Amino acid sequence: MTPEEMATCHARAFAGQGRAWSEQEFADLLESPHVFAVGEAHAFALGRAVADEAELLTIATDPAHRRKGLGRETLSAFEAGAVARGVTRAFLEVSDENTGAIALYRAAGYAETGRRKGYYQTPDGREDALLMEKALG
């Protein structure tokens, strides 16, 4: 998956929810030896693994391909990629307004561990970020 494909999918997935990440931002992140990507052009995840912890930086599914299990498959591939890198805990943050993503993460075993008030700037104002984590492997 190329940075261009990631940027296109990300823009579609997050349309109307704030600024999508650019091709250059994806390219810059992927230059780090700690950052890894899983997925394909219609659904992908980008993560960072350092020591025994991984952070899910973003996960995106093109709206035209939702409701087919791609989000669940991509999250599972992220976790497998993290475990292959020696990770034992995964962390993420998600807008408290993103009920679909929250349901996905809870179904996958992530638990809420905190909240960042007003963390996300959106066209409609500010949204809180839920912090979630899960033990892996």
Q: How confident is the model at residue 123 (pLDDT cuts 50, 70, 90)?
A: low
Give the per-residue pLDDT at 131: 98
What pLDDT digit, counting tens, does each position of 47-79 carry? Answer: 999 999 999 999 999 988 888 889 999 999 999
Q: In the prediction, which pLDDT does 120 show?
A: 83
State the pTM of this model.
0.91
pLDDT at 102: 96
- Of 55, 79, 93, 133, which residue is the catalytic one? 93
Question: For residues 93 and 115, what is the distance between their CA atoms, to the nearest angstrom?
Answer: 9
Q: How many CB atoms lie within 10 A of CB 57?
A: 18
5 is catalytic: no
CB-CB contact of 95 with 127 (8 Å): yes
pLDDT confidence bin for 93, thresholds 50/70/90? very high
Catalytic site includes residue 93: yes
Residue in 55, 79, 105, 127 annotated catalytic = 105
Residue keyed to tokens 């990507």:
37
